[in-house]
Structure 1
């Protein structure tokens, strides 16, 4: 969850200054960096053979998210040496990763005080972020579909041009269904949301002509197809949290899917196995196993 929160708040890499959300792949993929290096803590404070000591060294409050290159460059440097350099080069970078600004806390001798201060910052930022999402969600729930489209995509609003009609190839493409399903799963795992099929990313209303043609122009068959896909890929136990209906906008039909937050973690059956998605601003992001465990612990205990 801290990684998602950091990206949502615009966290940047501490070497190249690029937002984490826009980092390239390969050697620049994101690492979980120990702010206080493990070797430093084990040599001066803790016993590497003690289970409780290892938990303190590796806890979330001692992690920041950086590219692999930056993580390697910082290596075993003391935070009291490099954190002020980061803030000088990229003002606000420490705030965006919830780093206490008091330099006295950057000393190894103050490590546990640093952890306590950073835990408080993470909790405060997380509460503010979740509260902002709830306010935004309440706003979207009260608006008609035409206004939601005019508002554009957000944490709670997503547009999909089609369910399974490939606009480029001009033919049916079942692989496109996964994009709709992962958005539904992400809404279930975050704070809910509204998915509108038949609308392009820029808000242009395409309508449902092509998708309906694939089911013999039967709205009932379309809804049954979608219900079957959700049941197979997400699970029938979540059907009561997902409601859909057709609606006319500017003379075109669109399909509106309202999703509520699930009371537990929801996994999507994907091409490579189970996948876990969450909503981060205007996109649905897959989390890796470590991030998934952290997110579940933070949200459902």
Structure 2
């Protein structure tokens, strides 16, 4: 008999088919309001939930699912899953570290190059007939100092791309220094920003990292510095970023994630020294297949009486 699985995030048709073929009865409620009503009504048959870090699963949601056994977060993040509520019920929580790391690292470098080289603004100018006026001098990427905030799997891959692809000196800041790392460790975010030409945010989201990149960090990065965020929008103080970009205290930024997404502050959209993408850094066919494969492996391990592969500690 298929195992009831409630999906509270957007799910492609082929992904649904793979879950069904793996032995699950899939109930998809990606719309936030519909999902909330579904959970409020209670779903006593549901034994597993598929979510992600941005959507999560609250204590109230968990309470509405009396037979829930496992929560799988699609991708590395799980910041909005109430781990305490899950632990109290003995519910297993898994995530997908590393499954889309290469894709996210690729996108981080694409955003960095696009912002620094002024690709979007030059393209727009050319399309409007401004060929001559768009031929501005723009900084190089190669040889510049790359600072990485959060040296997890994704941060490490970004570091390697910068160092081995562009000859960039690399430094990082994390909660603690990584033993055996090839890169320079700096003791604070401000120290890292002051050292770097380019600062890439690759740290987890959640309360512990909220507004870690604040006005002081942006000022330390300086008027020639560029910021890239492929982590979570909450890590960057959006109002401070808007002010720094407006006032020329920061040269430019590129964001794949924004506080309050998908609602974007109008002040951010008005700026011409920022590049925005709609949280797509980890979205590639290869990454999607790998991420879902890990979810299926975790679900089948749990319901097969085995330890899951990637539990959240």
TM range (shorter): under 0.3
Considering fraction of residues, name the structure with more helix: 1
So what's the TM-score if we normalise by structure 2? 0.26
So what's the TM-score if we normalise by structure 1? 0.27
Please say which structure displays the higher CA radius of gyration.
1
